Structure 1
Amino acid sequence: MKSFNLINIFLFVLITLTPKQALADIGGLTKCSESPAFEKRLKASVKKLEQRISKYEEGTPPALALQQQVERTKARFDKYSRSELLCGADGLPHLIADGRWSHAAEFILPGFGFIYISGWIGWVGRKYLRAVSTTKNPTENEIIINVPLALKIMTTGYIWPISAWQELISGDLVASNENITVSPR
């Protein structure tokens, strides 16, 4: 009983005296709306464009194009300042890709988009090569692409995750061990 109390006291002291984790900002980054470097970068960008505008007469096509660019620049900086993006000492937004759910939209959605598109490209390429391998002259169809066939395959390739799963289940996705040559050692 006495040892149980000593353990409890030791754990209580250990827990209460352990320093708490500091909730510091992420690597010196601050919200873009609060970053002086971000505001400085906005002012410098607008000033540079306005100096270029001053070289042209008002209402001319180059002046109008530069004025539109100033408006787009201000809108872009406004969008960044209203978002939850964090800016560094350089005044530029930085993406946080360390797995924090508060910054998931910065990396996870674009990451899934990249994986989906690259998988689609790979799946369509694989399907095209398998289709032309059964033709009379497959090497020529690999060098000179059969555009109608390629377009047909591309339009059905957007469902590649489902097709890949079906081929995996049916055993058609992966070659069997008998079909793989192994060099003797």
Structure 2
Amino acid sequence: MFNLFVAGLELCKDSKVFNQRLKNTVAKLEARQQKYEINSPPYVALSQQIDNTKNRFDKYGKANLLCGADGLPHLITDGRLSHAKEFIIPGVLFLYITGWIGWVGRGYLQAVSTSSKPAENEIIIDVPLALKFVASGFLWPIEALQQLNNKTLLAPDNEVTVSPR
């Protein structure tokens, strides 16, 4: 692979510390599980947690994630597309979702600012109006570019207050 040993990383599936971490985690859960009667709700819940833990570690191993000396998966953020699933895709998705939330909130605040009680509508949310903005918010990047081109995205300079210093 690509200079993994320089960074002190190795594939999680090959890491002794990673596999020991799995064994320790499962052993702790099994020790807790033995305190309960078989088929009791806590016993079943711990069984599910053990299965989920094993599945999670198995997925980390199959995903070719890289583990450090601590046995934990490390994200590689060096720009290589082979690591896109670890950082780039979740990062872009995060930016899209936060943009959606901001765009919907901006639209809602602009809409209620023209109502008869704008301050009250900021505190007590008009749910039908808010849902209308949420439903249309997924197109926020396109709408933002359109408003930027139409010069309606940003407030005019004469509407922006500047505090004296």
Distance 1:184 1:59 in 2: 70
Which residue is equivalent to 1:127? 107
- Give the alignment's TM-score, normalised by structure 1: 0.81
Aligned sequence identity (%): 59
- 1:172/1:43 CA distance change after superposition, 3 Å: same
- 1:23/1:183 CA distance change after superposition, 3 Å: closer
Does 2:133 align with 1:153?
yes
Distance 1:139 1:64 in 2: 50
Which residue is equivalent to 2:7? 27
Amino acid of the residue matched to residue 156 of structure 1?
Answer: S
Which residue is equivalent to 2:146? 166
Structure 1 portions without partners, runs of 5+: 1-21
Structure 2 portions without partners, runs of 5+: none
Distance 1:120 1:170 in 2: 20
Structure with more relative contact order (C-alpha pairs < 8 Å, separation 6 or more): 2
Of residues 48-57 and 31-40 in structure 1, the stretch that sits farther from structure 2 once superposed is: 48-57
Q: How does 1:32-181 map to 2 (within 5 A)?
A: 32-181=12-161
1:138 deviation in Å? 1.4
Root-mean-square deviation (CA, aligned residues, Å) is: 1.9
- 1:48/1:182 CA distance change after superposition, 3 Å: closer
Query: Are the aligned partners of 2:10 and 2:68 in contact in 1 as well (CA < 8 Å)?
Result: yes
Structure number with greater Rg is 1
Of residues 57-66 and 121-130 in structure 1, the stretch that sits farther from structure 2 once superposed is: 57-66
Q: How many residues align?
A: 164
Of residues 57-66 and 98-107 in structure 1, the stretch that sits farther from structure 2 once superposed is: 57-66
Cα deviation per residue 1:79-129 (whole Å; 9 max; x = unaligned)?
A: 111112111111111111121222111001100111001001110111111
